[in-house]
């Protein structure tokens, strides 16, 4: 027979009501007692009844990760698996479940909203990769569903976790300037998303700070996919850049392939700097100089912030929490500098 609540209480040397308060995440339990109860739960193999617990707490202990991207895009971009790993580990630490929702169209997004969010199945939501015109976040705000955005969102009411995209992009471009480049192209991310806009702003800031003119022919838009990196690099070649800042490592892979197709080599003919520092960046030939962003940490922080919000009643007057993490330049051979060079 499965262990009972009474057996867990005996193992933890507490009352049955204390075990119940811990399971239902109620206050007024000392941290050391709470830890002892959870240790007893894990040791005994006790499994709280999810339906009964949700009736008591009005919570399901389930968080939704909502990503308005196609399945193909999600699993082709190494950013998302790293983000999900960080979020999953944080959910496990908080004794929550993470439910992933993907969409293939706006109609599918609306259907999911009614079936899952509209029925109160989730305690809250983390939204990643939402475009400025996507109705998902406005719908969540309208329905007063607690949410956190991965990435800066234009509405001040939306809490978010993000990295310093402007500063990271400026760091990448200034590195190329220090190496002597004066015609530096950029392959942007999606410009209907704030991170795409911010990285383009960082590129422009670096040029302005060094009194270099802005040449629109050196700007090509991508969508973070490898194929868009190839297309954008072919477009940039007409403007004869000597270096390029590519706003994601996936697009940098495509850019490198495009250069190989026309017989150009990296870094001899073109210096490249990416953004993300996904594991594949170090395995490229040549290894990719890139801007490291702590992707797993973003996922974990989004969960931490959301769960902290769920633990207290909503306060419309309180400012939304906004966390911005630092980025770091990782120097490898693709820019023409060795590790430790400027």
pLDDT in tens, 101-152: 876 666 666 776 666 666 667 899 999 988 888 888 998 888 888 999 999 9
Strand arrangement, sheet containing 62-67: 97-102, 62-67, 124-128, 147-150, 160-163, 322-325
Check residue 327 and give its pLDDT: 98
Sign of the Cα pseudo-torsion (137, 139, 142, 147, in order): negative
Residue 211 is encoded by which pair of tokens? 């009194």
Helix then strand then coil, in percent of the chain rounded to 5, is 45, 15, 35
Q: How far, in Å, CA of 130 to CA of 71, rounded?
A: 15
Residue 325 β-bridge partners: 163
Residue 267 confidence class, pLDDT cut points 50, 70, 90: very high
Q: Are strands 328-330 and 289-292 parallel, antiparallel or unpaired?
A: antiparallel
Name the packing angle between helices 165-178 and 194-209 (round to 10°): 40
* String of DSSP letters for 154-218: SSTTS-EEEE-HHHHHHHHHHHHHHTT-SSEEEEE--TTSHHHHHHHHHHHHHHHHTT----GGG
Least confident of 12-16, 251-255, 296-300: 12-16
Residue 155 is encoded by which pair of tokens? 């509405």
Residue 48 has pLDDT above 80, yes or no: no
Q: What is the pLDDT of residues 177-208, one digit of tens each?
A: 999 999 999 999 999 999 999 999 999 999 99
Residue 128 in contact with residue 65, Cβ under 8 Å?
Answer: yes
Check residue 8 and give its pLDDT: 82
Check residue 314 and give its pLDDT: 63
Residue 25 has pLDDT above 80, yes or no: no
Check residue 51 and give its pLDDT: 43
Residue 339 has pLDDT above 50, yes or no: no
| Upstream peptide bond of 286 is cis (omega within 30 degrees of 0) | yes
Instruction: Taking residues 78-107, report their average pLDDT.
Output: 88
Going by C-alpha positions, the residue among 214, 202, 213 that lies closest to residue 175 is 202
Going by C-alpha positions, the residue among 119, 7, 6, 127 that lies closest to residue 69 is 127
Check residue 52 and give its pLDDT: 46
Full set of structural domains in the chain with CATH: 62-163+295-325 (3.40.50.2300), 165-294+328-335 (3.40.50.2300)
Q: Name the average pLDDT for the chain.
A: 88
Residue 250 has pLDDT above 60, yes or no: yes
For 100: left if phi > 0, alpha if psi spans -120 to 50, otherwise beta; the answer is beta
Residue 54 confidence class, pLDDT cut points 50, 70, 90: very low
Looking at per-residue pLDDT, the higher value among 236 and 46 belongs to 236
- What are the C-alpha distances in Å from 115 to residues 64, 118, 122, 145? 13, 6, 11, 14
């Amino acid at each position: 027979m499965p262990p009972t609540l009474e057996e867990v209480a005996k193992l933890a040397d507490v009352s049955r009501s204390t075990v119940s308060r811990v399971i239902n995440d109620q206050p007024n339990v000392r941290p050391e007692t709470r830890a002892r109860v959870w240790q007893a739960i894990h040791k005994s193999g006790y499994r709280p009844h999810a339906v009964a617990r949700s009736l008591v707490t009005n919570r399901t202990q389930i968080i939704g990760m909502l990503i308005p991207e196609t399945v193909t895009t999600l699993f082709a971009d190494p950013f998302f698996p790293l983000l999900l790993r960080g979020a999953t580990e944080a959910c496990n630490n908080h004794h929550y479940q993470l439910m992933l929702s993907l969409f293939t169209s706006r109609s599918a997004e609306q259907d999911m909203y009614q079936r899952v969010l509209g029925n109160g199945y989730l305690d809250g939501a983390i939204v990643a990769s939402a475009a400025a015109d996507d109705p998902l976040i406005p719908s969540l705000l309208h329905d007063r569903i607690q949410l956190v955005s991965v990435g800066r969102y234009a509405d001040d009411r939306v809490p978010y976790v993000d990295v310093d995209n402007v500063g990271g992009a400026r760091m990448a471009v200034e590195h190329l300037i220090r190496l002597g480049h004066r015609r530096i192209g950029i392959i942007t991310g999606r410009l209907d998303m704030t991170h795409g806009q911010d990285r383009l702003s960082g590129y422009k800031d670096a040029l302005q700070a060094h009194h270099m003119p802005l040449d629109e022919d050196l700007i090509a838009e991508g969508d973070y996919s490898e194929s868009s990196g190839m297309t954008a690099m072919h477009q940039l070649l007409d403007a004869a850049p000597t270096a390029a800042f590519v706003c994601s490592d996936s697009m940098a892979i495509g850019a490198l392939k495009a250069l190989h197709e026309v017989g150009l080599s990296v870094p001899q003919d073109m210096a490249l700097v990416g953004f993300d520092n996904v594991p594949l960046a170090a395995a490229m030939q040549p290894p990719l100089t890139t801007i490291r962003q702590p992707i797993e940490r973003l996922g974990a922080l989004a969960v931490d912030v959301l769960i902290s919000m769920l633990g207290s009643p909503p306060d419309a007057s309180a400012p939304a929490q906004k966390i911005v993490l630092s980025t770091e330049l990782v120097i490898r051979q693709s820019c023409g500098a060795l590790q430790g060079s400027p």
